[in-house]
Structures are given as C-alpha cells and as structure tokens.
Structure 1
Amino acid sequence: MSPAADAPADPAGPVEPPEALRAAVEALAVRRPTLVCLDFDGCVAELADDPAAVAPVPANAAAVERLAALDDVVVAYVSGRPLEQLRALAAPPAGVLLVGSHGAEQDLGADAAPLQLTAAQRRTREQVLELLEELANRVDGALVERKPAGAALHVRAVADAAAAEALLVEAHEAAAAVDGAHPKDGKMVVEVPVVHATKGEAIRTLRRRTGAAAVFFAGDDVTDEQGFAVLGDDDVGVKVGTGETLAGHRIAAPSDLAGVLAALAARAEARGADAPPRSTPTRPGAAPDA
C-alpha cells in the first residue's frame, strides 16, 4: 500500500501556493514533456533525527501518484539517499525514475545497473568510514550512515548545538584531505561520497533522457543548489525552507509542497484536451537516447 493510502486525507486540503509560484508551474505545465524532479528528505518527507524513520507527507505522496499517472509528465526522485533506501522509504508509484547518492546511483529504466566502485574508491570509502566513525564516537548523538557511494555523518540528534557544528566542520576538513573523497555540507550532515556526482549533473541527464521541454525541481538542502544552478529560464525551482538559494521560488515546509504539485498536475491534466503532446517522454523500459 502506498504512503498516501496509509494515512487519512487532510480535510483542509493542500496549502495553496503563492500566486507567483502557481502562475510559474501552470506556465511550465503547458510545455511538454514535463520533468518533475523532487528531493526526498526535507522536501517530500519531513526531516527526522533517525534517517531511517521518515516517510513522504501523505498529501505529497498522493500528488506524486497523480503526476506519475499522466502520460506526458515524468517524475523523478533526485536524492542523496542510497538508491535502495530511497526506493523503500519513498515507495514511488510505477514509472517514477530514481536517482540516489546525489547522482552516483541511477534507476532510469531498463538499462539500470548497480553502482560499481573501483578498487581505489573502495579503499577510499573504507578510509572515510573509519574517519567518520572515529569522529562520531567523540560526541553523543552523532551517527554515521554507511552508503554504497560513501558515508555521511549526521548530528541532528546531538543535543549541544555548538558541539554539533564543530564536529561537522572537523569532519568536512578531515574528509577533504582524503584522496578521492568529495565532502558535501548539508543540513546537520556532512556527506562524503567517493564518486564525483551532483544533483545538477543528474538533472541534466534526466532532461536529456526524457526529452523534457521544461523541468520542475524542488529541494531543501545545500546540495540541491547544484540542481537549481542548471535550471533554465523556462524551468521552475522551488526551495523548501530557509537559507540562501538560486531557486526562483520558496515554500516554508514539506507540507506546502502538495499544493504546488497539485497546481502543476491540474494544469497538465487540463492541457491533455488541448492538443497531443509534442513528443513522448522516455519511461522505464523505453529505449535510451542515442
């Protein structure tokens, strides 16, 4: 059963998006095919101290299902999560593309292949794990998450805010000195992949593979800025939460995302009666582009 079906619907309905954002997504939805890229943690799902204890906001899950059912819309999760963990926690409907580990892992259809680290990358990953675990053992509440493409140090459960920030700074600096490691700062986390990949590169790949005429991307974290950076004038970027951003629009929290996705879906559904799509988006099982 999908996350949307596990919880009762909100009788108040989704939060209405700001007028400028509504106008932007309605204009974007006219362009076809439309690619809808979504970060998971802090965007579709609320953040949690335990990385394994999250699930999509029910209204967001329902909106994703609605969009995924449209023939000329492609939905993709673009996340720092390991691919299999993303699949398990997001429980995406059929047809949704998955990008994990900031782009290092991708399930884009029939040609999906597991991540294969080189011998050098495996050695670097072990070195990073040892380093982060040593640092985490010094501070109560710090947690190391093992990932196929590297590791992450989480401090969301650390009670002392100053100690948490100091630990993140130390972890980033130490990881940066490891040959082949690529530390990335996030919200209360330092990600250290051993494969160079960014969400911006992933979105470019998705755009090319799907033939998208326009891209919507929503994200909340520092690493999502690389995704916002590759968007064009006809695309729409939405920052979830506070902080400096390259995105053209902002909403306050994951609970506000459903209204934005609903507005996009409603316009995309309405356009179906206007004219046939200009091209057919690539979906799982379709032949890749040349």
Structure 2
Amino acid sequence: MSDRLDGSLVGALEAFGTPDGAALLVALDFDGTLAPLVDDPTAARMTPGARAAVDRLGALVSDGGGAARVRLAFVSGRDLDDLAARADPPPGSYLVGSHGAQTGHATAQGLESVPLELSIAQRGTLAALNDALAAAVAGREGAWVQHKPSAAVLHTRQAGPEDTAAAVEAAEAAASRLGLTAMHGKDVVEIAVLETSKGEALERLRGVVADDVGSDVSRVLYAGDDTTDEKAFAVLGDGDLTLKVGDGETLAAHRVPGADDVAAVLDTLSEAIAAGP
C-alpha cells in the first residue's frame, strides 16, 4: 500500500522504524483520522482499511520480537469509554480521552482506566457550564451539547449558519464568564474545567512508553486531522514523525488525504518494523 504515499513519507517511516533500541509510540487520533467525520458521533467507525491496518500493527506489537519496543495509542477528544467502544483497541494499547484529561489501557479483559476526580469547585463550575450551554442551544435546530466527565461540548455540524454563530458566541461568553477556555475544533466548541491538551498527554505518554519498554530514548509518530491536534504536533521534534490528515494549515511535517492513507502509513510502518535489522 506504500504506493499511496509519497517517497519522503515512506523514507520517514522507514527511518522511524529503524531498530536502534528506541521505544516507539504510534499515537493516533480517531475522528477524521481513522474514522471519517459523521453527523452522529455514535455512528463513527474506522474505515475497513484503517481497521485492518490497526489490527495488523496491534498483532505485530503483541507478538513481540522486533516490535517489543513499539506501543500503540489512541488519543482523542472523546470520553474515554466512548473512545474505547469506537476504537476497539488491540490489547496493550494506551488510550487518552477528553484531550488528555482521561487515560486508560486496553487489556484482553477490557479497559483499565485511571479514575478522574473533580474538586467540589470544579464540579460546581461544570454544572454551571452545562446549564449555560443548554441555554446556548435552546431553540437552535441542529445544535446540541455533549456532556463529558470534565467538559461540555457544543456541536454545530447540523446547525445553520445563523444558529451556529449565535450558539458559538453564547458558548464563548459562558467560557469567559466562568474563567474557562473555549477550544475550537471542526464544528465543535469544547470547554473543560481541567486544563489539558493532546500535546501534554503525548509528552506524558512518551515517558510512560519509554519506561515500559526500558529505553532511555523514545520516538513518537502522531497522526491527527483537527486544530486540537496541532498542540500535539507542536511538542514533537527531531526523530518524531508528524502526520496531518486532510486539508488546513498545520505544523506537521507530512500530510495525507484521509483514513485509508493513514492505513497505508501504518502498513508501511508495520513492514519496516517486521523487517528488523
């Protein structure tokens, strides 16, 4: 499948997979990266090609051998349980939900997650935020609010331009009033009571993976499509591999059009890792 990819990206993948003892973290966004964006988030599924490529890489990692130093992760704005249900991650995978506020690990028995606890003040702020966003979408067809353990998300993909503008303005005003930050993505505005980012989550996970593998050196491949993924690209550097999926300005060094091209990336990497020295 590497004929889908340009030569510079293939070369970067081969260099990334070089068996030099470094721990390798392959971290992937879900929506818009492995699964096409859809109006109903509960209907999101990986493309067949992406599903097969993820499973091949997961099987390679679980078999050990040359892939014993490789770990797979899914990093998403989705709630952790929702991410686990949609991604159906291979056992051994790390999961990061809610842009870093939630973490977990996939096992053969299911998801093991780190409990997320909010302070009394944070719980009160979240309740006020939920009320404000409920008011923001009231009477605006197609706009709706998703509730997370530490955040609320305004969705406007199915709303008209006027209703979208009004709902977004109300959400931004609520964030400002409550001393929170409104994070804009593709047809969403997410407001959290915990300050997190995919970049911070990746940096933490890099260290976890290095310790897990027993290596002093780690390299990260990260693929994402949205503005929130730029915070992940921003923290990665020499030796890492950054992949933007789709259009738009980006800090990523490489770009592919869609999920099936991400599948080609994963297959090319799997081949490089399996080939060994």
Asked if the contact 2:141–2:163 (Cα under 8 Å) also holds between the matched residues in 1, the reply is no
Aligned to 2:265: 260
Question: TM-score, length-normalised on structure 2?
Answer: 0.88
SS at match of 1:87: helix
Q: 2:100 aligns with which of 84, 98, 103?
A: 103
**Kept after mapping to 2: 8 A contact 1:67/1:73:** no
Give CA deviations for 1:149-203 in whole Å, capped at 9, x if unaligned: 1110001111x23432443244223313213x33210000001111111100100
Verify: 1:68 aligned to 2:68, yes or no.
no
Asked if residue 175 in structure 1 is aligned to residue 192 in structure 2, the reply is no
Matching residue of 1:42: 32
Q: Deviations over 1:30-67 (max 9, x none)?
A: 15321001011111111111111111112112211222
Identical-pair percentage: 42
Taking the TM superposition and a 5 Å limit, the aligned residue runs for 1:1-290 are 16-30=4-18, 31=20, 32-69=22-59, 70=61, 71-108=68-105, 112-158=113-159, 160-179=160-179, 181-211=180-210, 213-271=218-276, 274=277
> Residue 283 of structure 1 corresponds to which residue in structure 2?
none
- Matches of 1:267 and 1:123, distance apart in 2: 50
Question: Counterpart amino acid of 1:91?
Answer: D
Q: RMSD of aligned C-alpha atoms? A: 1.8
Q: Which amino acid aligns with 2:269?
A: L
Runs of 5+ consecutive residues of structure 1 not aligned to the other structure: 1-12, 275-290
Which amino acid in structure 2 is aligned with residue 167 of structure 1? Answer: A
Aligned residue identity for 1:49: D
SS in 1 for 2:38: coil
Letter in 1 for 2:14: E
**Paired letter, 2:48:** P
AA at the equivalent of 2:104? D
Distance (Å, rounded) in 2 between the aligned partners of 1:182 and 1:88? 28
Q: What 5-or-longer segments of structure 2 have no aligned partner?
A: 62-67, 211-216
Question: Per the alignment, in what secondary structure is the counterpart of residue 157 of structure 2?
Answer: coil
Count, aligned residues: 258
Larger helix proportion of the pair? 2
Q: Which has the larger share of strand?
A: 2
CA contact (8 A) 2:125 2:193 kept: yes
For the 8 Å contact 2:89–2:106, the answer to whether it is kept is no
Letter in 2 for 1:171: A
User: Is residue 91–residue 106 contact of structure 2 (8 Å, CA) maintained in 1?
Assistant: no
Superposed structure 1 runs of 4+ greater than 3 Å apart: 108-112
Preserved contact between residue 172 and residue 184 of structure 1 (Cα < 8 Å):
no
